[in-house]
Amino acid sequence: MGSKCSKLTSCCWASQQNGPIYEAPTRVEKEEKSEVDELPVFCEFTIEQLRNATSGFAAENIVSEHGEKAPNVVYKGKLDQKRIAVKRFNRSAWPDARQFLEEARSVGQLRNHRLANLLGCCCEGSERLLVAEFMPNETLAKHLFHWDTQPMKWAMRLRVALYLAQALDYCTGKGRALYHDLNAYRVVFDDECNPRLSCFGLMKNSRDGKSYSTNLAFTPPEYLRTGRVTPESVVYSFGTLLLDLLSGKHIPPSHALDLIRDRNIEKLTDSCLEGQFSNDEGTELLRLASRCLQYEPRERPNPKSLAAALIPLQKETEVPSHELMGIPHSAASFPLSALGEACVRKDLTAIHEILNKIGYKDDDGAATELSFQMWTHQMQDTLNSKKKGDVAFRHKDFRAAIECYTQFIDAGTMASPTVFARRSLSYLMNNMPQEALDDAVQAQVISPVWHITSYLQAASLFALGRENEAQIALKEGSILEEKRNETS
């Protein structure tokens, strides 16, 4: 079955310098190439690792769920501070473990900045899971069909089309031309708001499952005849995406082609785009869509020619994607609470005051644990260790706090996120940031929506000099705290 990743830092998350990269000469492309170079090689995880990474597959970490046709759930999680997306299949999917592993390993060899890359998998017993890079800025469907503040700009829509064509071209060049059910939900946006193609679509939802789960009106005609997906079928689906980008709606291809033939093009264009593009630009995109939607598969273009045709159409190429999308670029753009500000200032004294003040009220039942009288002698010793740790923590004797809290944790009788949080800060006070980070992550495993854990991770990452990751953790803490305040 292959070796498991028992030590993430040395096996999975070490920087790699030999991944295949989509070539491009610009400065931005070089920066993206460097980021892909740092991705870990594909690796097999244990179910226990992924259970811990997702806080026990907690409902709070569910990103998306699919129904009977494609039974799977996607969770967000963290492995050694790397944010991940974990796709967990239904137990009936992929009954043949060897086939699943072969498919996953093949997809896992791909490494490209136009993909949300596959980082690993898990194949234990009846469990089948895929692990990919986590993309925090929603799907194309969300930004195109269900936008909240502003519709997607024309320049950004053209960028999405180009980046997707480049992703498909890269996959084709690496022998993975088949993409299953390409649609607006398969396009996700990274930290910079650049569009990427989800690697999950490079594998079927099950070895014997359907390749398409969308409405039959959007399914390539040859698939309806044969039940098989081909490279030309993928191009057909790309054509439907071009229609989505132009219209801002999910229009059946047959209806769109009728409108094109009747020269009723205005009905195909999103009214929100008025004044943002010329007739020639709109006509060219429709021409490309029409070519992709040809009934005969051999008459459709290939991804390389599509990318070449889309390059001259690009506009505002120097404007970052997050600006075109109107999405704040970093956590610094978010209003921060007193705790968030203390993390940015690296003010550990202020963090201590806040942790001391909130006590154990965020532990599930931990605050009342001392009221029980029927403890064994060993249990009483364990609780006494925690009591002594609390006294030392309150009086800022952080070395003693570490020692006492460690005795409590090592006993393993109960899991307290607050104890891990307090020991994390105690480690920070003793200039032990990696140990502090480990404890903050463990606290989050126990309590996945507790904002304190993200803030402590941010403080630890700042101390380790990992600025970008610290900003991400800070943003997560801010979002969790805001949600908490809304419900309290």
| Residues taking part in catalysis | 181
CB 199 within 8 A of CB 152: no
Q: Which of 17, 39, 41 is nearest to 134 (CA)?
A: 39
Residue 381 backbone dihedrals phi, psi, to 5 degrees: -60, -40
Give the pairing of strands 127-133 and 82-89.
antiparallel
Q: Residue 280: CB partners within 8 Å, gap ≥ 6?
A: none
- What is residue 131's three-state secondary structure? strand
Amino acid at residue number 155: A
Residue 444 backbone dihedrals phi, psi, to 5 degrees: -70, -35
Chain Cα centroid distance, residue 20: 21
CA dist 439 → 421, 442, 460, 464 (Å): 7, 5, 10, 14
Q: Which of 453, 451, 458, 452 is nearest to 473 (CA)?
A: 458
CB 18 within 8 A of CB 85: no
**Residue 240 to residue 258: CA distance in whole angstroms:** 14
CA dist 391 → 34, 342, 383, 398, 406 (Å): 48, 23, 13, 10, 14
CA dist 362 → 261, 409, 477, 485 (Å): 63, 17, 15, 14
Q: Please, what is the end-to-end C-alpha distance for the chain in angstroms? A: 48
Sheet with 118-124: strands ordered across: 43-44, 118-124, 127-133, 82-89, 72-79, 62-65
**Residue 336 to residue 220: CA distance in whole angstroms:** 49
Count how many residues are written for the chain: 488
**Residue 242 to residue 292: CA distance in whole angstroms:** 9
CB 75 within 8 A of CB 92: no
Q: Is the dihedral of CA 172, 177, 179, 182 positive or negative?
A: positive
Q: Greatest CA span in the chain, whole angstroms?
A: 86
CB 164 within 8 A of CB 195: yes
**Residue 7 to residue 38: CA distance in whole angstroms:** 17
Q: Which of 63, 80, 176, 195 is nearest to 130 (CA)?
A: 63
